[in-house]
Structure 1
Amino acid sequence: MFKKALLVAAVMSAVSINVAHAADGQIDFTGKFLATTCTIDNGDDNQKIAMGIFGADQVTAANQRLGHQPFKIGLTACETSLQNATVTFIGTADTTNKDLLKVDAATGVGIGLFENDGTPVKLGQPSKAVDLATNNAGVFNFNAQYVSTQALVTPGDANATADFVINYQ
């Protein structure tokens, strides 16, 4: 019986070998909760932009732009600690050009989103920053345009939807 107890003790001590752990690095998580962020101007949160009606034969090459529809997203009553903000647009991407919104029926064309100066705003990427610190408010000015992805556009409805997220800094 003593031998069995000794054997059990030996097996248990072999199984419970201590494993040494060493810290190879550290991750610090930081964040903040604010009382409020900004208020999106009335009507700027859910917009309908009429892109216009065009003939498919008006497109003669890829990357041709048609229609120029300005729109804005205004922010007011911003928390005083906010310095600036960006906008990220999210939507279904065109299969040929992932930076464009996919339209529902017409092919060979998508909808591009652009900064006011013409710089493209890629889907899923932040826009240029707008200052909020000066007046606790700011305005994003954008343009939407049809952008051809090939020289031949097939006729059909060319509607798309984009959601947007305001990123505060």
Structure 2
Amino acid sequence: MRKLRFAYCALALGLISGYASAASQGTVTFNGKLIAETCEIDTNDVDKTVTLPTISTQTLAKAGDEAGSTTFTIKAVSCPAAITKVAAHFEALDSTGFDPVTGNLTNAAATGGAKNVEVRLYNTDSSVIAVGETGAAFDVQSDQTALMRYIGGYYATAATEAGDVTAKVNYTLSYP
């Protein structure tokens, strides 16, 4: 009888441990596509500088406050006829250039930098573009160009403190 109980216990533990190990591992599959012919970035738009307005810390007094929205454009040229839409995919320069919780760009101003402020990216419909995401797609025009419009602005993570704000993001053309 004792051996039988032991066998049942061993069987039960085996079943339970099987579920435990199955829940602690998995697989991530990445799928993508590369294309040979793409649009080019207009030479005037490769490296952009967007000047956000100078605003008061009182405007960004608490977490979640947003202000200073400024539109910027990226022009794609020489798009092949097969490409009808193009968008910008925004990527962090490195692991310290963005906040993984908010998806915003962090302030990289070295000395005299403002505190508790990030730069948030938006589509023109005000939807947020987190770092690592692709912005809205724009139509390629008959002259094989596309003008992509996006917005950058301040985002408070807490009551802000005065200082400079500098943030950078890489972008790559994407073809949805």
Shared fold (TM-score greater than 0.5)?
yes
- For 1:160 and 1:74, how far apart are their aligned partners in 2? 21
Give the corresponding residue for 1:117. 125
CA RMSD in angstroms comes to: 2.3
> Do the aligned partners of residues 116 and 81 (structure 1) sit closer, same or farther apart at CA in structure 2, a change above 3 Å counting?
same
- For 2:34 and 2:46, how far apart are their aligned partners in 1? 26
Cα offset, 1:44, TM superposition: 1.3
| 1:100 correspondence with 2:101 | no
- For 2:84 and 2:104, how far apart are their aligned partners in 1? 29
- For 1:62 and 1:113, how far apart are their aligned partners in 2? 17
Cα offset, 1:133, TM superposition: 6.7
> What do residues 96-147 of structure 1 show as CA deviations (whole Å, max 9, x unaligned)?
x431100123221100111111111111011122222755321111111001
- Aligned counterpart for 1:33 among listed residues 30, 33, 36: 36
| 1:147 correspondence with 2:155 | yes
- For 2:175 and 2:60, how far apart are their aligned partners in 1? 39
Give the corresponding residue for 1:75. 76
Unpaired segments ≥5 residues, structure 1: 1-28
Instruction: Say which structure is richer in helix.
Output: 2
Give the corresponding residue for 1:44. 45
> Do the aligned partners of residues 31 and 76 (structure 1) sit closer, same or farther apart at CA in structure 2, a change above 3 Å counting?
closer
Q: Report sequence identity in percent.
A: 19
Say which SS state the counterpart of residue 130 (structure 2) adopts. Answer: coil
Say which SS state the counterpart of residue 57 (structure 1) adopts. Answer: helix
Deviation beyond 4 Å, 4+ runs, structure 1 = 29-32
- Aligned counterpart for 1:129 among listed residues 123, 137, 161: 137
- For 1:109 and 1:68, how far apart are their aligned partners in 2? 14
Conserved in 1, the CA contact under 8 Å of 2:60 and 2:156?
yes
Conserved in 2, the CA contact under 8 Å of 1:98 and 1:123?
no
Unpaired segments ≥5 residues, structure 2: 1-31
Normalising by structure 1, report the TM-score.
0.71
Conserved in 1, the CA contact under 8 Å of 2:62 and 2:160?
no
Conserved in 1, the CA contact under 8 Å of 2:70 and 2:151?
yes
Cα offset, 1:94, TM superposition: 2.7
Give the corresponding residue for 1:53. 54
Structure 1 window deviating more from structure 2 (126-135 vs 42-51): it is 126-135
**Amino acid corresponding to residue 99 of structure 1 in structure 2:** G
Larger radius of gyration: 1
Say which SS state the counterpart of residue 124 (structure 1) adopts. Answer: coil
> Do the aligned partners of residues 102 and 32 (structure 1) sit closer, same or farther apart at CA in structure 2, a change above 3 Å counting?
closer
Normalising by structure 2, report the TM-score.
0.69
Give the corresponding residue for 1:157. 164
